[in-house]
Amino acid sequence: MSRVLEVRGLAKAFGGVRAVRGVDLDLQAGEMLALIGPNGAGKSTCFNLINGQLQPDNGSVRFLGRDVVGLPPRRIWRLGVGRTFQVAATFASMSARENVQMAFLSHHRRLRRLVGYAGDAYKQEACDLLERVEMRALADRAAGVLAYGDVKRLELAMALAHGPRLLLMDEPTAGMAPQERRSLMTLTSEIVRKEGIAVLFTEHDMDAVFSHADRIAVLDRGEKIADGRPEEVRRDSRVQASYLGSFGAQS
Amino acid sequence: MTRISWCNAAAVAAAILVSSGAALAQAEEPIRLGEFNSYTGFAAFTLPYRDGWTLALEEINEAGGVLGRPLEVISRDDGASPAAAIAVANELVTREGVDILFGTLLSNVGVAVSDFARQRKVLFLAAEPLTDTLAWSHGNDYTFRLRPGTYVQAAMLAEEAAKIEDAVRWVTIAPNYEYGQAAVAAFKELLKEKRPDVEFVGEQWPGQGQIDAGAAVQALEAANPDAIFNVTFSSDLARFVREGEVRGLFEGRTVASLLSGEPEWIDPLGAEAPEGWIVTGYPWYAIDTPEHDSFLKKYQERFDDYPRLGSLVGYIALHSIALAMEEAGTTEVEAVIESLRGLTVESPIGPVTYREIDQQSDMGAFVGRLTVQEGMPRMVDWRFAPGSEYLPDDERVRELQGSD
Amino acid sequence: MDLLLQQLLTGVASASGLFLVASGLTIIFGVTRIVNFAHGSLYMLGAYLAVSLIDLFGGGHLGFWGGVILAMLAVGLIGALFEITVLRRIYQAPELFQLLATFGLVLVVQDVTLLIWGPQDLLGPRAPGLTGATQIFGLRVPVYDLFLIAFAPLVLLVLWLLFNRTRWGILIRAATQDQQMVTALGVNQKWLFTGVFFLGAALAGLGGAIQLPKGDANLHMDLQLIAAVFVVVVVGGMGSILGAYLAALLISLIRVLLITNAQLTFGGIAAWQMELVSMFLVMALVLIARPWGLLGRREVASDQRSGTPEPRLRPADATLRIAGGLLLVVLLGLPWIVGSYFLSVATEALIFVLFAASLQFLMGVGGIISFGHAAYFGLGAYGVGLAVRHWGMSMEVALLAAPLLAGVGALVFGWFCVRLSGVYLAMLTLAFAQIAWSIAFQWIDLTGGDNGIIGIWPPDWASSVTNFYYLAGAICVIGLLCLRHLAFSPFGYTLRAGRDSPLRADALGIDVRQHRWFAFVLAGVFAGIAGGLFAYLKGSVSPETLSISLSIDALVMVLLGGVQTLTGPIFGGALYSVLKNELISLTNYWRSILGLIIVLLVVLFPQGLAGAAESLRGRLGTSR
Ligand SMILES: Nc1ncnc2c1ncn2[C@@H]1O[C@H](COP(=O)(O)OP(=O)(O)OP(=O)(O)O)[C@@H](O)[C@H]1O
Ligand SMILES: [Mg+2]
């Protein structure tokens, strides 16, 4: 298996707050790595550092062997990094299908075309992709009025349009009913395994984490305190103390 | 109002319409003229102007109209901008069907309308704009101009200024557009002709209505001049005068100031009007001729107000057009233009002739010194300066007409 | 050294006056996010009211200061009343819509002031005891200048105490940061806003009254001041009172420096030629270096946009196609229906519709607000003017110069503008428009200065009203269709993507800034075409084609029609331009009538005319 992502010594401070301190992460193709930790642990910040939205103070991010620090998000996306946001971001004035069509237009570098209807471009592909995330029926709804869980799925479809090698999913199931959660996670893992996509995701729902992650990395106050297979992490005493305590007790 | 009375009112209105229509049909079809000026944008100058031509209109119609027909003036606001004025001019010409226009105040409006007049072959009497490009570099056969332009007024002041022996170092302050620049250029040229020893040691160019008077006064003061030539007007003038007085700029210095004797610009200063300035203007309170007395009396009776220079301009403008039509014996444009060329009109301030060479009138101006009497600005030691003595001669005009 | 001190004092004194007015504007904007164009009108009312009141009280210390304070309070009340009766109804409207209402107020106040106080300038009364000059280091300094120099920091201090030491002020600051939070605290946001409007308006009124001893009350002071005040507010950072003071100082001092060295030339440009444009240059430089002004806070990345979310754009359905077709038929047959006067009105309306549509493309599709769109209209007009005047080009060729010059202008200006966002971006566009204006105004050899370029008439074949109508109409309709098509093209979608969510767009490989830049150029090109046609319609070009008032006209047309609908500019542009043309020839009260109509439309149709038409259609559709 090839290494998709290699993060070393990643660090970022906001003023006095050291949000991320010296984090290392590795990801292989087809692997799902869950990044967990309490609120404010620095998970989203890690994502923002990896996809270029924030510039790290220190450390390196290598994607497919290439150093991507300093590149803007759009360039990193071009290299094959798809992303969903903690607070989902879609194009509210467009329909779900048009959102996916946008992703295809960008993928095929057709953004600057002045002629032709964008509404007709990659329509079939967009519909197919929506079908895969079980959103076909909602294709013509405006993204701005979709239910929260649907928006998350839409984001997933948009990320997939580019055929990414790495998917960054920030709390993909937040705001969903348990049933919906399970189905989305199952769907995601099916897709990524089939296509060999590496997934880095955060999640507060431990069911989802422990049933889908191949590996788990635990962040606490910006530091990685554990990294390993689910059962190893579950047993880790530091993790239990700082975060998983309640969860460990429950299971 | 109840329903019934509404019906009554409508019936009455209809009756009035019908009867007035019948009356109109009996009378002679009126001659229609188009008039437009910056009534909303520059009301201080244009409302007296409107009163002026209104008075003339009433006089003309009481005396039986023109060519036996009553005169009618269709008056509009020109929007104080060239584009809006062109739209209004077009409306007057196309919808109202007039082919003689008069009015306008702003130079750029006047210039744009004069070109419109040329294009559409209608007569345009530019009543108030001061820019001389109207008569010379941009002049055309369809445009006449009544008011003495920048050059003539600057020449009058230059003549007075030259007489002041110890005024050698001059500074100028003028608004930063064509009017100010042309006035300063003409003043400099003409004064230097008469007084080669004169130097110009500083200049200020505030934006119209945007003067930073304190700083400007300071800068002029720093040049340590003997004399100052001022072209600012309106609220810029008020600010300039106030700052100048407080900071002592005018003490022991000669000031020559364009238009500052015109009531529309100086009267707002009231008792604070600067004393001793050499100005061009209109001392309506002191002109003692039968023609002017009669004009003054009629004007004051009619409007319960004293005339401003604008009143005079409006009054003479309409009389000029009426006389030109009378002389031409027709209202046909080309004939009226022909008749206006070289025409002499009797006015409250003496005869005014439209020169053939540039279609500029030789209307003059009054030159004198400012003082304050009973809390109001007044011109004293004034004389009437006939425009003909200051207008450039034919050869020079041809030169100017050739240039662009 | 002495001279330097004197200049410093003069500069600080002028800064004080500017600051007083600007502080009110920055407070209003900071809290309510309303761009208050009527701030200059409130300033003017303050001046006029104070003249009358002081006159009534008969001078003296009590009379003067009593008059000033009463005028200030009265203007505050006027501001509050306007907020309660008009603005309060339209807080939910899309961004910037409230600006329309304040523009309507500007027009109404101009006429009302003329009606009440008459046309003549009213010389301001002097402040008793503060009239003369005093000697400082052997220099004569007006006492009133010293008073102003001390007064502004005093006001600054009072405002600081108000916002930091009173419950009301602290709530206001909280509201500035997070409006939802304040509502959640159970504070009545309505009255908070009314209070803010009272305070802001009162400060404007105070500014108008306090400048009287140095000048007068006149009918032009509203518009003459407003641009400068906006510049101060933006340079200082919107919402920052201290920033406004610093910005006022900066701008006034630079101005004094230029005035003092009026004849100094750099690269052929004299200092005095820079005087008026200097504040816009300063603003441009400050914004390029600090996109949120000197002390402004970075605006939250506009992912959570205020107001209602943009509606979806749908390609023309059958009804719209039929309506469009009918409109086209009417336009084609117009010469048989109306007289030649109305035909030229219609020509002008079509030109303005294209101009408005180009701005709508930028604002509605691209999410880029522009306060200086006349720059490109004017550059187009000057493109034609210069081509005709200096190269004697025929109309067919000269008309190509219009989009070319406008496009080049947009390319240059846009490069800087797209680096900013929101109102700061809008103000940078205004700065560039003013820079273009002052070049046209001052470079007399090239442009003819304020008299402009005349003699730009169409050749014989196009000179009849009907032919020119068909020519201009065809170009405008094609331009409109192009703009409409662009909105649905991949490029248009990309722009909308960047508008809806810059964050998502960036994470989807879209270079938002670059696309906005292209949008700027495209909008400039179409505005330029409109400007070129306008030059031939009027036969002349003058700096007013680049003026702030034309930029505002464009904004009014777009907002009136509805910024989020592609048909909006057609409604807004046609209505505004025909209305203005007709009202001017009907009455000298055209300004107040136009203003009242605008306010009325704003209150009745907060989604704009096209928005209202669409929702009406929606309602009819569902009831059927
Ligand atoms: N742009 C920013 N500016 C300042 N501080 C920030 C910024 N973004 C994040 N932080 C701070 O960095 C820390 C880490 O935040 P981050 O959003 O990465 O946490 P998280 O692990 O994603 O938490 P959650 O589970 O709540 O999403 C927090 O203390 C947060 O307040
Ligand atoms: Mg997070």
Per-residue pLDDT, B401: 85
Per-residue pLDDT, A86: 86
Residue C149 lies in a domain: yes
Chain C contact for B133 (CB, 8 A cutoff): yes
> Mean pLDDT, to the nearest integer, of B164-177?
95
B214 and C13: CB-CB below 8 Å? yes
Helix (H, G, I), strand (E, B) or coil at B65: coil
Chain C contact for B270 (CB, 8 A cutoff): yes
Per-residue pLDDT, C417: 94
- Cβ partners under 8 Å of residue C561, min gap 6: C356, C360, C567, C568, C569, C570, C571, C572, C573, C575, C608, C609, C610
Chain C contact for A101 (CB, 8 A cutoff): yes
Residues forming beta bridges with residue B256, ordered by sequence position: B229, B278
> Mean pLDDT, to the nearest integer, of B350-367?
96
B246 and C142: CB-CB below 8 Å? yes
Q: How crowded is residue C268: how many other Cβ atoms within 10 Å of its Cβ?
A: 7
Backbone angles phi, psi at C278, to 5 degrees: -60, -40
Structure tokens belonging to residue C202: 């009162």
Residue C477 lies in a domain: yes
Q: Are residues C272 and C352 in the same domain?
A: no
> Mean pLDDT, to the nearest integer, of C359-385?
95
Chain A contact for C489 (CB, 8 A cutoff): yes
- Cβ partners under 8 Å of residue B182, min gap 6: B131, B132, B150, B151, B154
Domain ranges of chain B: 2-149+287-353, 151-283+365-401
pLDDT at B254 exceeding the cut of 60: yes
A74 and C515: CB-CB below 8 Å? no
Sign of CA dihedral B82, B84, B85, B86: positive
Per-residue pLDDT, C621: 62
C500 and A91: CB-CB below 8 Å? yes
> Mean pLDDT, to the nearest integer, of B304-316?
96
The protein residue whose alpha carbon is closest to atom 30 in ligand 1 is A40
Residue C324 lies in a domain: no
Question: Which candidate, B383, B203, B370, places its Cα nearest to that of B276?
Answer: B370
Helix (H, G, I), strand (E, B) or coil at B381: strand
B40 and C590: CB-CB below 8 Å? yes
pLDDT at B219 exceeding the cut of 90: yes
- Measured distance between the N- and C-terminal CA atoms of chain A, rounded to whole angstroms: 32
As a CATH number, domain B2-149+287-353 is 3.40.50.2300
Residue of C nearest to B133 (CA): C451
Chain C contact for B111 (CB, 8 A cutoff): yes
Q: Which atom of ligand 1 is nearest to the CA of A222?
A: 14
Chosen from A114, A141, A151, A156 to mutate, greatest number of chain C CBs within 10 A = A114
Q: At what angle do helices C374-391 and C548-561 cross, to 10 degrees?
A: 130
Chains B/A: 3 or more C-beta pairs closer than 8 A? Answer: no
Taking contacts as CB-CB distances below 8 angstroms, the residues of chain C near B244 are none
Q: Return d(Cα B158, Cα C135) in angstroms, integer.
A: 35
Residues forming beta bridges with residue B230, ordered by sequence position: B173, B257
* B2-149+287-353 and B151-283+365-401 have identical folds: yes
Q: What is the DSSP letter of C369?
A: -
Q: Which of C10, C123, C544 sits opposite B218 (nearest CB)?
A: C10
In which band, very low, low, confident or very high, does the pLDDT at C186 lie, cut at 50, 70 and 90?
A: low
Q: Which of A18, A23, A36, A45 to mutate to test the pocket of ligand 1 (most atoms within 8 A of CB)?
A: A45
Are C522 and C418 in contact by the 8 Å Cβ rule? The answer is no
Last residue of a domain, one of C243, C274, C289: C289
pLDDT in tens, A151-162: 988 999 999 999
> Mean pLDDT, to the nearest integer, of A54-60?
93
Chain C contact for B145 (CB, 8 A cutoff): no
* Chain-centre distance for alpha carbon B392: 19
Average pLDDT value over all residues in chain C: 90
Q: Which atom of ligand 1 is nearest to the CA of A38?
A: 25
Helix (H, G, I), strand (E, B) or coil at A200: strand
Question: Which candidate, C361, C370, C309, places its Cα nearest to that of C487?
Answer: C361
pLDDT in tens, B129-149: 999 999 988 899 999 999 999
Ligand 1: residues whose CB is within 6 Å?
A: A 14, 17, 19, 37, 39-45, 86
Give the residue numbers spanning the domain of C96. 2-126+140-257+264-289
Are C7 and C139 in contact by the 8 Å Cβ rule? The answer is no
C508 and A158: CB-CB below 8 Å? yes
B178 and C260: CB-CB below 8 Å? no
Are C202 and C222 in contact by the 8 Å Cβ rule? The answer is no
Residues in B 229-258 with any Cβ partner in C closer than 8 A: 234-235, 238-239, 242-243, 246-248
Per-residue pLDDT, C619: 74
Per-residue pLDDT, C302: 44
| A204 Cα–ligand 2 center, Å | 10
Residues in B 348-387 with any Cβ partner in C closer than 8 A: none
Residue of B nearest to C15 (CA): B212
Chain C contact for A90 (CB, 8 A cutoff): yes
C490 and A53: CB-CB below 8 Å? no
Taking contacts as CB-CB distances below 8 angstroms, the residues of chain B near C348 are 87
Q: Tell me if the pTM is above 0.80.
A: yes
Per-residue pLDDT, C317: 82
Identify which has the larger pLDDT, C526 or C239: C526
Question: Which candidate, A147, A215, A201, places its Cα nearest to that of A170?
Answer: A201
> Mean pLDDT, to the nearest integer, of C121-145?
89
Question: Which candidate, B109, B129, B101, places its Cα nearest to that of B336?
Answer: B101
A77 and C485: CB-CB below 8 Å? no
Lookup result for tokens 């505005």: C527
- Cβ partners under 8 Å of residue B13, min gap 6: none
Residue C539 lies in a domain: yes
Instruction: State which amino acid sits at residue C341.
Output: Y
Are A3 and A27 in contact by the 8 Å Cβ rule? The answer is yes
The protein residue whose alpha carbon is closest to atom 11 in ligand 1 is A19
Residue of C nearest to A95 (CA): C312
Chain A contact for C485 (CB, 8 A cutoff): yes
Question: Which ranges in B277-373 belong to alpha helices (H)?
Answer: 290-303, 309-328, 333-340
> Phi-psi category of C471—alpha, beta or left, where left has phi over 0 and alpha has psi -120 to 50?
alpha
Residues forming beta bridges with residue C540, ordered by sequence position: C454
Q: Are residues C281 and C367 in the same domain?
A: no
Chains near B with 3+ CB pairs less than 8 A apart are C
> Mean pLDDT, to the nearest integer, of B185-202?
96
Distances (CA, A) of C566 to B93, C426, C430: 36, 21, 24
Question: Which candidate, B143, B171, B162, B36, places its Cα nearest to that of B93?
Answer: B36
In which band, very low, low, confident or very high, does the pLDDT at A249 lie, cut at 50, 70 and 90?
A: very low
B365-373 and C133-136 beta bridge pairing: unpaired
| B231 Cα–ligand 1 center, Å | 64
Q: Are residues C270 and C387 in the same domain?
A: no
Q: Are residues C249 and C374 in the same domain?
A: no
Question: Which ranges in C261-317 belong to alpha helices (H)?
Answer: 271-289
C506 and A102: CB-CB below 8 Å? no
B39 and C455: CB-CB below 8 Å? no
pLDDT in tens, B10-62: 444 444 444 444 444 446 799 999 999 999 888 888 999 999 999 999 999 99
Taking contacts as CB-CB distances below 8 angstroms, the residues of chain C near A102 are 493-494, 497, 508
| Total structural domains within chain C | 2
pLDDT in tens, C537-561: 999 999 999 999 999 999 999 998 9
Per-residue pLDDT, B22: 41
Structure tokens belonging to residue C568: 């909006």
Lookup result for tokens 């960054």: A168
> Mean pLDDT, to the nearest integer, of B77-94?
92
Tell me what ipTM this predicted complex has: 0.92
Q: Return d(Cα C197, Cα C105) in angstroms, integer.
A: 14
> Mean pLDDT, to the nearest integer, of C478-492?
95
Least Cα separation, residue C624 to chain B (angstroms) = 36
- Cβ partners under 8 Å of residue C115, min gap 6: none
Chains near C with 3+ CB pairs less than 8 A apart are A, B
Q: Which fold has domain B151-283+365-401?
A: Rossmann fold (3.40.50)
pLDDT in tens, B289-306: 999 999 999 999 999 999
Q: Return d(Cα C478, Cα C490) in angstroms, integer.
A: 19
Residue C145 lies in a domain: yes
In which band, very low, low, confident or very high, does the pLDDT at C179 lie, cut at 50, 70 and 90?
A: low
Q: Return d(Cα C269, Cα C263) in angstroms, integer.
A: 9
Contacts 24+ apart (CB under 8 A), C333-338: C334/C469, C335/C466, C335/C469, C335/C470
**Residues above pLDDT 90, as percent of chain C:** 68
In which band, very low, low, confident or very high, does the pLDDT at B2 lie, cut at 50, 70 and 90?
A: very low
Chosen from C12, C117, C123 to mutate, greatest number of chain B CBs within 10 A = C123
Taking contacts as CB-CB distances below 8 angstroms, the residues of chain A near C488 are 117-119
Are A64 and A80 in contact by the 8 Å Cβ rule? The answer is yes
pLDDT in tens, C18-69: 999 999 999 998 888 888 989 999 999 999 999 999 999 987 889 999 999 9
The protein residue whose alpha carbon is closest to atom 18 in ligand 1 is A42
Lookup result for tokens 């991010």: A61
* Chain-centre distance for alpha carbon B265: 12
Structure tokens belonging to residue C382: 């000057």
**Residue B291 CB burial class (10 angstroms; 0-12, 13-18, ≥19):** middle
Angle CA C621–C623–C624, to nearest 5 = 70
Per-residue pLDDT, B240: 96
B95 and C7: CB-CB below 8 Å? no
Q: Which of A12, A17, A39 to mutate to test the pocket of ligand 1 (most atoms within 8 A of CB)?
A: A17
The protein residue whose alpha carbon is closest to atom 25 in ligand 1 is A39
Q: Return d(Cα B39, Cα C226) in angstroms, integer.
A: 22
Distances (CA, A) of C500 to A90, A94, C368, C602: 8, 9, 12, 25
Helix (H, G, I), strand (E, B) or coil at B158: helix
The protein residue whose alpha carbon is closest to atom 6 in ligand 1 is A14
Helix (H, G, I), strand (E, B) or coil at B270: helix
The protein residue whose alpha carbon is closest to atom 28 in ligand 1 is A40
In which band, very low, low, confident or very high, does the pLDDT at B6 lie, cut at 50, 70 and 90?
A: very low
The CATH number of the domain holding residue C21 is: 1.10.3470
> Mean pLDDT, to the nearest integer, of C135-154?
91
> Mean pLDDT, to the nearest integer, of B215-233?
95
